[in-house]
Chain A
Amino acid sequence: MFQAFGSLFNAMPGSTELIPDLAESGEYVSPREFRVVVREGLRFSNGNTLDASDVKHSIDRMRIIDDANGPQILLQYLDEVDLVDNQTLILNVLNDYDQSLLHVLSSVATVIVDEEVFPVDRVLTPEEIISAGSFSGPYLIEAFESESFVSFVPNPSFQGIWGQPKNDGVIVRYYADDNNLALDAKTGQLDIAIAWRSLTPTAIEDAANSGNLRQVLSEGSVPAFLSFRLDTQPFGTSLDTANEDKARAVRQAFAHLVDRTAVSDTAYGGSLTPAFSVIPKGLTGHSQILKNLYGDGNGLPDSAKAAQTLQAAGITEKVKLRLLYPPDRYGPMSEVVLNQIKDQVERDGLFELELFTAEWSAFREIRRAETVEYDLFYSHWGPDFADSDNYLSPLFGPGGWLATGFNNDSVNSLLGEQLSAQDAEQRAALIEEIERILSTELPAIVIGMDGRSSLVKSGVKGVDEILDVTFKVRYGFISKN
């Protein structure tokens, strides 16, 4: 999406700082009004003017179409968009000084489309989009086949901060089978092969050893969680044996036993980096809090502490846990990861962990069901944009995606405060406080940050830069000899 359609704000590769892109400026003029000035002289690739009216149209359109698969949920904290003049808009927000707004304005939910081409109430077909030829991003789409192939060529009208592409065009081919991807990379038919959770370490090593490929790992920004159902876990709130302190002790003891480094060494070709914070590296509030609080203090497990935690809570018997995971969703290595964790927590006889599987769509339903037969679930959270709030509110706010049943008044209040905190240091402090509470209550244990594993042909440059925490793969920065 970002290759062909521009945004008001964006970040350069390797940075998470959002700066005006197709916008000239943006600032809060009151607690709930954000004024954006669109740059003058911008045009779509078909020559039509790109101005504030197109921006309003693009946002309104997203809401009106309201496709169930669409990203309009990212606009949930954005109220009306008012047009002031050709270049100026006022975006009305629902939370004072909402700090996630810039990220929303850099997301897929607010990419800018031509109001003279894209109807406000209908999704165009790919053929209609291509034949209209109206793009606002660094590239035009030359050809497209759904879930198979896209051909991008540089857009000479593009004036955004990413600049004109460093290549003459990019052809993207999608593979249904990652073995075919690895094979084509190995046989030199691809300049770059980007795999998402799917290439095994063996496949990557085999391809990288073919001589003309090197592996590039992106910075991890997709947290992998072991999340508890607070109602059904041992001593959970719905059980006869319900006891909040004991339930917490179970979760904390579990955390003392997880060896993230061992998991990372074998999982996903090294793309799952150990994580001791829900917030990825590079974002506001990132810390190593779990390393400090659990295990030996250096990131390794400590079974003595785990045993002590259980004893102190009066738990003397082995704790039995049932974990459900979707093997079809997180790649072939998810089974390896979880069996490793099983070995880790069972090693000293404190826990017995049974692993169960369910296909992804069934997993989603089971996890959110009112009554479940499982205590733990394994899942990855795919963020919508690179902002700390996106790793907190959707997961640990009321009715969070992890479906733990966690609902903490202090956390809920702090989530609202950090979202409105204009001062970066103040916001960081609020986020750290949230993490402190989460690390004590532990509704979910983050074990790693998942990134992307890529195989890059020799002579191809720029890939290391673009595989950053933002997950925006900016093809325009890639070049080859």
Chain B
Amino acid sequence: MVKFFIERLVGFVLTSLILVFTVFALGRLTGDPITASLGDRLSDSELKRRVSEAGYDRPLLVQFGDYLLNLTKGDFGVSFISGTEVAPRVLSFVPATLELGLTALVLAVLISIPLAVLASRRPGGFIDTLIRSGAVTLYALPVFFTAMLLRAIFSIWIPLLPTSGRVGIEHRVALLSNPELTGWYLVDSLLLGNFAMFASVLSHMALPALAIAILVAANLTRVIRSNLVYALQSEPLEFASALGLPRRALLWPHSAKMVAPQVLTSFGYSVASIVGGFVYAEVAFEWRGLGSLLTESVLNRDFEVLQAIVVLLVLIIVAANVIIDITIQLIDRRHLSRTGPNE
């Protein structure tokens, strides 16, 4: 177990380094951030002076070494676009993304588990086919399309939910002017004891969370359903069923333990696409999280911010996969030699 943990940790560090360097190098390939942002506003001599001062004329590996060293101190540099330190700016967008993400994940689980259980009752039956087809279709839909569709239905045709933003405009002053608040608007509204604000945050969150949840749930439903069918048809559980164990008990905890490793593995693979989903959903719904900041920094050529967000996302994705691996290991050591069903 310790060996497994160390292997995963080393893999985490190496993978992160390679990904961060790749993004760093790709960013530098298009030129330094100062020239990209200010190239036509400064004279050639002034530009050269600023580039040299910032160290962008040094060899790439030297620049990367410095960047890594600064990263260890939590220093992500200064944005040439906004003139502010990158780390606080990027971190200030994290609560919005986490709030949306966690809500979306909870929704996804609440949607996918019941559907998967329902589908697994009669494999190949009408309901199973309907659910599986629906899941495949929804999984194939791009998030921005889902977002547009949801907004068209619930904000325009049936004006039930807001079109964009994190909270009603009437509440933003209260949320922005109190430095004690967390940036997690659901939490902040409860801290302020403002239930109208809480409802407003929930209503604003509904559509973007649903857009992401649909993507996640579509995949989860298929994976859970397949593994459930496999588990329920396995010898041990068939035997247990023959002995009269009720279906509820077969599902929980027996099938759950068998299914969990595969589901977690599948979830790990889809973390990267979930991150992509966030970017689209946040932009579509003007949800001011990391995804919208990422888009802005690309459009503004704000390399320092872009680099920092990518580093953060890389660490999140790689860490998520490592945690999933370890969790699987803890749930069931036999997972390492097991092969699940192919979808």
Residues in A lying within 8 Å of B, measured CB to CB: 67-69, 73, 123, 125, 127, 130, 142-149, 151, 171, 173, 175-177, 180, 183-184, 187, 189, 328, 361, 364-365, 367-368, 401, 403
Q: Give the distance in Å from the alpha carbon of A403 to the alpha carbon of B37 in the complex.
A: 18
When the two chains form their complex, are residues A328 and B299 in contact, meaning their CB atoms are under 8 A apart? yes
B173 touches A67 (CB 8 A): no
Q: In the complex the two chains form, is B37's CB within 8 Å of A176's CB?
A: no
For B85, give the chain A residue with the smallest CB separation: A125
Residues of chain A within 8 A of B172, CB atoms compared: 143, 145, 149, 151, 171
- CB-CB < 8 A to A148: which residues of B? 288
Identify the closest chain A residue to B168 (Cβ): A189
Cα distance, A148 to B295, chains bound together (Å): 14
Contact A187 B156 (CB under 8 A): yes
Residue B153 at the chain A interface, CB threshold 8 Å:
no
Bound-state CA distance A305–B68 (Å) is 64
Q: Which of B76-84, B131-139, B203-211 contacts A (4 or more CB under 8 A)?
A: B76-84
Q: Known: A68-B42, A123-B83, A361-B37. Is A143-B163 also a contact (CB below 8 A)?
A: no
B10 in the interface, Cβ–Cβ < 8 Å?
A: no
Question: A73-B41, A144-B176, A149-B172 known; A180 and B163 CB under 8 Å?
Answer: yes
Q: Which of B262-320 contact A (CB under 8 A)?
A: 283-286, 288, 292, 295-296, 299, 301
Question: Does B179 touch A at the CB level, under 8 Å?
Answer: yes
Task: Give which listed residue, A68, A147, A183, contacts B156 with CB less than 8 A.
Answer: A183
Q: Contact check, A364 vs B163: say whether CB atoms are below 8 A apart.
A: no
Q: Tell me how far the C-beta of A58 lies from the nearest C-beta in chain B, rounded to whole angstroms.
A: 18
Q: Which of A151, A175, A328, A364 contacts B173 (CB 8 A)?
A: A151
Task: Kindly identify which residue among A143, A173, A328, A365 contacts B40, using a CB–CB cutoff of 8 Å.
Answer: A365
Contacts of A175 in B (CB 8 A): 164, 286
Q: Which residues of A contact B299 (CB under 8 A)?
A: 328
A171–B169 alpha-carbon span in the complex (Å): 8
Q: Which residues of B sit under 8 angstroms from A147, Cβ to Cβ?
A: 296
Q: Mark B43-61, 1 if CB is under 8 A from A, else 0.
A: 0000000100000000000
Give the CA-CA distance A142 to B175 in the complex, in Å.
Answer: 12
> A142, B80: Cβ atoms under 8 Å?
no
A-B contact pairs, 21 of them (CB 8 A): A67-B83, A68-B34, A68-B38, A68-B42, A127-B179, A142-B173, A143-B172, A143-B177, A146-B82, A146-B89, A147-B296, A177-B286, A180-B285, A180-B286, A183-B155, A183-B164, A184-B163, A187-B159, A189-B163, A364-B39, A367-B40
- 19 additional contacts, CB 8 Å, given A151-B172, A151-B173? A68-B38, A68-B80, A69-B37, A69-B80, A142-B177, A143-B172, A151-B176, A171-B169, A171-B173, A175-B164, A175-B286, A176-B296, A180-B163, A183-B156, A183-B163, A184-B164, A187-B156, A365-B35, A365-B39
Q: Which of B176, B283, B301 contacts A177 (CB 8 A)?
A: B283
Distance in angstroms from B56 CB to nearest chain A CB is 13
Q: Which residues of the other chain, A, contact B31 by a CB distance below 8 angstroms?
A: 365
CB distance from A149 to the nearest CB of B (A): 6
Closest B residue to A188 by beta carbon equals B159
- Closest Cβ neighbor of A399 among chain B residues: B43
Closest to A365 in B: B39
Smallest Cβ-Cβ distance to B170: which chain A residue: A171
Known: A125-B84, A151-B172. A69 touches B163 (CB 8 A): no
State A173–B34 Cα separation when bound (angstroms): 29
Task: Tell me, in angstroms, the Cα distance from A194 to B280 when the chains sit together.
Answer: 24
1/0 per position for B153-196, CB-CB distance to A under 8 A? 00110010001110001001100110100000000000000000
Expressed in whole angstroms, the minimum distance between the Cβ of B241 and any Cβ of chain A is 53
Q: How far is the CB of A327 from chain B (nearest CB, A)?
A: 13
Which among B173, B179, B301 has the greatest number of chain A C-beta atoms within 10 A?
Answer: B173
Residues of B within 8 A of A189 (CB): 163, 169
Contact (Cβ within 8 A) A143 B173: yes
Question: Could you give, for residues 5-41 of chain B, a 1 whenever the CB lies within 8 Å of some chain A CB and a 0 otherwise?
Answer: 0000000000000000000000000010011111111
- Given contacts A176-B286, A176-B292, A187-B159, is CB(A69)–CB(B169) below 8 Å? no
Interface centre among B177, B292, B296 (most CB of A within 10 A): B177
Which of B156, B286, B295 gathers most chain A CB within 10 Å? Answer: B286
Q: With CB as the reference atom, state the residue of chain B lying closest to A65.
A: B83
CB distance from B53 to the nearest CB of A (A): 11
**Shortest beta-carbon distance from B87 to chain A in Å:** 14
A48–B172 CA distance with the chains assembled, in angstroms:
29
A172 to chain B, nearest CB (A): 10
B70 to chain A, nearest CB (A): 21
Residues of B within 8 A of A130 (CB): 177
Chain A nearest CB from B291 CB (Å) reads 11
Closest residue on chain B to residue A131 by CB atoms: B179
Contact, CB under 8 Å: B169 / A173: yes
Residues A177 and B173 in contact, CB atoms below 8 Å apart: no
Contacts of B292 in A (CB 8 A): 176
